[in-house]
Amino acid sequence: MNYNSTRNKKNAANWSRAIVEGIAGDGGLFVPETFPEISDLESMADMSYGDIAYEILNGFLPGLEEMPLRSIIDQAYNYKFSKNEIVPLEEVGDVHILELFYGPTSAFKDMALSILPYLLKTAMEKENIKEKLVVLTATSGDTGKAALEGFAHKERIKIIVFYPEKGVSEIQRRQMITQEGENTFVIGIEGNFDDAQRGVKYIFNHKGFKEELLKGGYRLSSANSINIGRLIPQIVYYFYSYIKLLKEGKTTLGQKINIVVPTGNFGNILAAYYGKRMGLPVNKLICASNENNVLYDFINTKVYDSRRELKLTSSPSMDILVSSNLERLLYHLSGDNCEYVKEKMEDLHTKGYYSAEDLDMEEFYGGYSTEKEVLRTIEKVFNEEYYLMDPHTAVAYNVYRKYKEETGDDTVTVIASTANPYKFGSTVAAALGLDTKDIDEFQTLELLEGRTKVAIPNPINELKSKDILHKSLCKKDEMKSTVARILQVGEQNG
Ligand SMILES: *Cc1c(COP(=O)(O)O)cnc(C)c1O
């Protein structure tokens, strides 16, 4: 099995090269040429998370032997997650909430970033790569910390993270700037996430700079969801949730479910779509946006229009106007048409929008939640169901309520819960009406714990006593020179 570039099928790669390179040479994203079929869901009934991960990953990584793959999965999930189940599925009223936040950084990015370093290491060996790898990452808050945690102390790897200085929560910021590990670098940029992502893509596509890096013994790779190695591990938990529903008698074999995903860069929901392509019985993929509702507009009008102001919301990990992984969906929905994708991406680049009127997007439903709705949802679900959710999950929950009201569809529904509520403590406290006026972030978390009796996760609690190790800031047009300085290589301007 090969991975094609979305922009030119000639630029295909095997899995190891696709993971090492992160992005195709033509600027496109790697996509699987075919989807391995999982036909016997029933046989998975007694499998652990790791076993299911093996079944899914095995289909995408041909040539990787059973024992190394099992060992990779074992190292990724067996020690770092605070729940044995890895991803518990909680029944809350009429929905099932898939809790993806029990990894080391309390957000769903851990699901993929705890395994990516091991996949990357194996891929580097397979490709016989002699250089050091520089994992260059733009983050809206959660990817950064999860990548730092995954790659810290790893041999022959340096990890550089750019985050929007004013666009992340206080806990997210503290998590990143207290990161230990000589191979870790964290830089705040005076701009938003889209600026950070654009800067990273610019560096990736800069041929001269890449040569300069090679001379210095470095090669670039990406921990963002443009890397196909991020997406594949995310398919696993959708299968896991279905198997769990089956086991608990909440659904019957073959019966379709809805999946609701709070969406930013379109990675998590694309993994659910890939699951569907592999045989997971899915009715609707419900794409939930916050007030940066570009995807809502796209699904409803088929025009993707990024020409608007980015708003900073209480769900910062979804504050994105250019959702990278949508490029992959365009490819799949257009019948693997690279010319089509290239044209749309060119339009987006030059005009700031594109129209995709000919695409059939019936499989998706797009909705969004306002800031007010998010706060009200957190409060209401806590008061009525005694379930505490973070703002991203609340965006999804609220969109599901609208969907159900609008359509009357009562299909069994799974909502992806992407972060622990304490990662966004001040928003959650405000939603519950707690008075946090004269107290700091950590006191707010304690107040919230007292009120809700939901425990603060240890890694978040420990942040308050950690030293701040990363203080660098840079302007959005200084990202390349910052990388050059860190790695002590030439800059190759122009
Ligand atoms: C990254 C993130 C999202 C958005 O996921 P995408 O894969 O970018 O769509 C949603 N919620 C949280 C908490 C996140 O960290």
Cβ neighbours, 10 Å, residue 432: 17
Q: Is residue 183 part of a domain?
A: no
Contact present, 264 and 320 (Cβ < 8 Å): yes
Q: Which domain holds residue 308?
A: 89-107+234-460
Testing ligand 1's pocket by substitution, the residue of 265, 290, 328, 415 carrying the most ligand atoms inside 8 A of its CB is 265
Distance (angstroms) between ligand 1 centre and the Cα of 108 equals 7
Q: Is residue 98 part of a domain?
A: yes
Q: Does residue 364 form part of some domain?
A: yes
- Best residue for ligand 1 mutational test, from 108, 172, 225, 226 (most atoms within 8 Å of Cβ): 108
pTM comes to 0.95
**Is residue 265 one of the residues assigned to a domain?**
yes
Residues 6+ apart with CB under 8 A from 225: 112, 143, 231, 265, 267, 324, 325
Of 109, 145, 423, 480, the active-site residue reads 109
Among residues 316, 204, 220, 196, which one has the least CA distance to residue 262? 316
What separation in Å is there between the alpha carbon of 316 and the centre of ligand 1?
9
User: Which atom of ligand 1 is found nearest the CA of 423?
Assistant: 13
212 within a domain of the structure (yes/no): no
The domain that holds 401 is classified in CATH as: 3.40.50.1100
Q: Are strands 282-289 and 257-262 parallel, antiparallel or unpaired?
A: parallel
Residue 459: phi, psi to the nearest 5? -60, -30
Ligand 1 centroid distance, CA of 321 (Å): 13
Please give the tally of structural domains in the chain.
Answer: 1
Q: Is residue 370 part of a domain?
A: yes
Amino acid 23: pLDDT: 87
| Euclidean distance between CA atoms 181 and 224, whole angstroms | 20
HSE-up of residue 12 (Cα within 13 Å, Cβ side): 11
Q: Give the mutation target among 176, 261, 418 for probing the ligand 1 site: most ligand atoms within 8 A of CB.
A: 418
Residues in a beta bridge with 134: 158, 220
Pocket, ligand 1, Cβ cutoff 6 A: 107-109, 142, 225, 262-268, 317-318, 392, 418-419
Q: Residue 240 and residue 165: Cα distance in Å, rounded? A: 36
Q: Whose CA is nearest to atom 11 of ligand 1?
A: 418
Q: State the pLDDT at residue 245.
A: 97
The answer to whether 250 is a known catalytic residue is no
pLDDT of residue 270: 98
Looking from the CA of residue 142, the nearest atom of ligand 1 is 15
CA–centroid distance, 50 to ligand 1, in Å, is 23
Give the position, in ligand 1's atom list, of the atom nearest the Cα of 393.
11
Please tell me the distance between residue 43's alpha carbon and the centre of ligand 1 in angstroms.
31
Query: 293 alpha carbon to ligand 1 midpoint, in Å?
Result: 14
d(CA 269, CA 234): 9
pLDDT per position in the chain (494 positions), as tens? 899 999 999 999 999 999 998 889 898 999 999 999 998 999 999 999 999 999 999 999 999 999 999 999 999 999 999 999 999 999 999 999 999 999 999 999 999 999 999 999 999 999 999 999 999 999 988 999 999 999 999 999 999 999 999 888 889 999 999 999 999 999 999 999 889 989 998 998 899 999 999 999 999 988 888 899 999 999 999 999 999 999 999 999 999 999 999 999 999 999 999 999 999 999 999 999 999 999 999 999 999 999 999 999 999 999 999 999 999 999 999 999 999 999 999 999 999 999 999 999 999 999 999 999 999 999 999 999 999 999 999 999 999 999 999 999 999 999 999 999 999 999 999 999 999 999 999 999 999 999 999 999 999 999 999 999 999 999 999 999 999 999 999 887 65
